[in-house]
Structure 1
Amino acid sequence: MRTLYLFGSAAPPVHNVEMVIEDAQRRGFDVCLGLTPSAAHWLGDRLAFLEELTGHPVRYEYKQPGEPDAWPKADVIAFAPVTFNSVNAWALGLTRDFVIGVVAEGIGKGIPTVAMPCVNAAYVQHRQFARSVAELREMGVQVLYGKGGFVPNAPGLGKPEEFPWHLALDAAERMSRRPRTR
């Protein structure tokens, strides 16, 4: 069975992660769920259920040095939704949060990674966002943003139920079948 690290930031679509886990499991993935601390806070009352659903602890903090890994090794990583903050932190190598540290290191380990931002049209006007997306793409991350991915909405007009989760899982499925480059 292929192992999918499914990571999410605190954007409204993260509330639908249960359905995404179930879809990934139907596709044959063993799913390990990782969240930013804010996303973990948002899902706090559901974390035990999500652990039961995946069969793995939900991770949102780094483990202690010397502590064994709680998850199997990843075959592929899907990071969605990825917020403005998480996209920029990742591209800049600012690994304060567990999931950002894993995806940053995953680039060097050659773990196939797909990311789908969830940002509004005001945030994308900040020049750093375009730079960060370009930087991640140059490092080999498949960023599903713009045509064929997530298209930003006006501030306050998000439609989390329309977040195209299937695109991230489709890409993860394709990527997990390719041989690793490193």
Structure 2
Amino acid sequence: MSEWKRPFLYVVVCAAGIADDVGKLITLAQKQEWDVGVIATPQGLGFIDAPAVEAQTGYPIRSAWRSPGAPRPLPPPDAIAVAPATFNTINKWAAGISDTLALGILNEAYGLGVPTVVLPYLNAAQAAHPAYQQSLERLRGMGVLIGEYEAHRPKAGGGRENFRWEQALELLGLVSR
């Protein structure tokens, strides 16, 4: 008889000022009976409290490829939330670039049919760039669910109060009603 296993959510964290609040999303997912593993972009790793996140999830944060033959530190994902997602990650992902572990996982997720949601976090000047809108359209066409976020003013930071971490779970249908 196999042991019951909780579903597994990957949270991909990018280099954004609000990334240090990722524990909010982890807590929300855990309350919905999901186990969580964090994949950080190489730059995103510097924006989070890695020891606190690892203690909260019980898993190591991944940000680089493992060596051939090394054991997989996380189970395969049942769903993925990219939050916060930067201009850079969104555009590279839509273009199929896999120059980081996070992007490699996101690009493979499409081919594997893993439900994926993205919560963009960027400034208005970046959001105005035509490549960004084209990238969102391509991701939508791939079945990626896109969260709503009103871009903040350039060079001002902010938007933390308007960033809805819970939207990732809502869009994936992971919220118990």
Corresponding position of 1:76: 79
Q: Report percent identity of matched pairs.
A: 34
Secondary structure in 2 matching 1:79: strand
Give secondary structure in 1 for the equivalent of 2:37: strand
Partner of 2:64: 61
Cross-structure match for 1:17: 22
Q: Report SS of the residue matched to 2:43.
A: helix
User: What residue is the counterpart of 1:152 in the other structure?
Assistant: 151
Match for residue 3 of structure 2?
none
Partner of residue 166, structure 1: 166
Tell me the equivalent position of 1:40.
45
Deviations 1:2-21 (A, max 9, x none): 11001111112211011221
**What is the rounded CA distance, in whole Å, between the counterparts of 1:54 and 1:175 in structure 2?**
17
**CA distance change for structure 1 residues 55 and 157 in 2, over 3 Å: closer, same or farther?**
closer
Look up the SS of the partner of 1:5 in the other structure: strand
Q: Which amino acid aligns with 1:100?
A: L
Separation in structure 1 between the aligned mates of residue 157 and residue 93 of structure 2, nearest angstrom: 26
TM-superposed CA distance for 1:24, in Å, is 1.1
What is the letter of the counterpart of residue 69 of structure 1? R
**Distance of 1:77 and 1:27 partners within structure 2:** 15
Unaligned segments of structure 2, at least 5 residues: 1-5
* Separation in structure 1 between the aligned mates of residue 95 and residue 56 of structure 2, nearest angstrom: 33
Please list every run of 5 or more consecutive structure 1 residues that lacks an aligned counterpart in the other structure: 178-182
| CA distance in structure 2 between the partners assigned to 1:102 and 1:137 by the alignment | 17
Aligned residues: 170
Distance 1:159 1:126 in 2: 19
- The secondary structure found in structure 1 opposite 2:124 is coil
Cα-to-partner distance string for 1:139-171 (whole Å, 9 max, x where unaligned) = 111112xxxx11212211522133111111212
| Off by >2 Å, runs of 4+ in structure 1 | none
SS of the aligned residue for 1:122 comes to: helix
Corresponding residue for 2:117?
114
- Contact 1:2–1:176 (Cα < 8 Å) also in 2: no
Say whether 1:126 aligns with 2:126: no
Q: Deviation per CA, 1:31-52: give whole Å up to 9, x if none.
A: 0011111110222xx2122112
Q: Do structure 1's residue 95 and structure 2's residue 95 form an aligned pair?
A: no
State the partner residue of 1:180. Answer: none
- Deviations for 1:22-78, whole angstroms, at most 9, x for unmatched residues? 1110111100011111110222xx212211210111011111122221111111000
For the Cα contact (< 8 Å) 1:75–1:176, is it kept in 2? no
Q: In structure 2, do the counterparts of structure 1 residues 176 and 98 end up closer, same or farther at CA, with 3 Å as the change threshold?
A: farther
